[in-house]
């Protein structure tokens, strides 16, 4: 895959930060279409950008030929977004606490913390073909 591909409520991108804006435009468009308010759209967009960055660097090891998939669904009164990479997974809880005084001045390590702070739930599933992180936000 060399360019993003959109099918219904799903966007697939190569593993490159060049395509972060494509994910953002697609995501925000879908959310606006669902009537989500702008503040919540921003929180979701921030969270998805964190997950996509993690998928690029940690899941797919910046291998451009590997794919990241972002799927958006409305489930009852919530939006559920699944970000899938081709990596072997990680422990959602095995991350240093970025608000610990010892870590405050570090330049990295805040992504998952931000996602957990902004979203109502964060879950992860790893299969033989990749890892999916699912975030949920009430709307």
Member of 1, 6, 17, 88 binding another protein (CB under 8 A): 17
Smallest distance, another protein to C-beta of residue 33, A:
19
Residues 100-119 as x/- pattern, contact with another protein by CB under 8 A: ----xxxxxxxx-xx--xx-
Phi and psi torsions of 69, nearest 5°:
-115, 135
Which residue, 8 or 54, is less far from another protein as judged by CB?
A: 54
Helix (H, G, I), strand (E, B) or coil at 21: helix
Member of 3, 8, 35, 39 binding another protein (CB under 8 A): 39
Give the strand order in the sheet containing 5-7. Answer: 5-7, 10-14, 67-75, 78-85, 131-138, 121-126
Distance CA 51, CA 83 (A): 7
Q: Is 22 in the site for another protein (CB under 8 A)?
A: no
- Produce one character per residue of 83-94: b if its CB has 16 or more CB atoms within 10 Å, e if not: bbbbbebbeeee
79: tokens are 């939006």
Which residue, 75 or 99, is less far from another protein as judged by CB?
A: 99
Q: Is 40 in the site for another protein (CB under 8 A)?
A: no
Which residue, 65 or 109, is less far from another protein as judged by CB?
A: 109
Distance CA 91, CA 109 (A): 14
Q: Which residues bind another protein (CB under 8 A)?
A: 16-18, 20-21, 24, 39, 42, 45-46, 49-50, 53, 98-99, 104-111, 113-114, 117-118
């Amino acid at each position: 895959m060399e360019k993003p591909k959109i099918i219904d409520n799903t966007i697939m991108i190569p593993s490159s930060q060049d395509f972060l804006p494509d994910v953002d435009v697609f995501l925000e468009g879908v959310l606006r279409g669902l009537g989500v308010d702008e503040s919540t759209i921003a929180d979701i967009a921030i969270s998805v950008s964190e997950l996509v960055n993690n998928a690029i660097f940690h899941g797919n090891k910046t291998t451009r030929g590997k794919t990241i998939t972002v799927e958006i669904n409305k489930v009852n009164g919530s939006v559920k977004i699944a970000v899938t990479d081709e990596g072997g997974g990680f422990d959602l809880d095995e991350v240093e606490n970025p608000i610990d005084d010892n870590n405050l001045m570090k330049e990295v390590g805040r992504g998952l913390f931000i996602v957990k702070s902004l979203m109502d739930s964060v879950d992860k599933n790893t299969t033989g073909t990749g890892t999916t992180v699912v975030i949920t936000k009430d709307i």
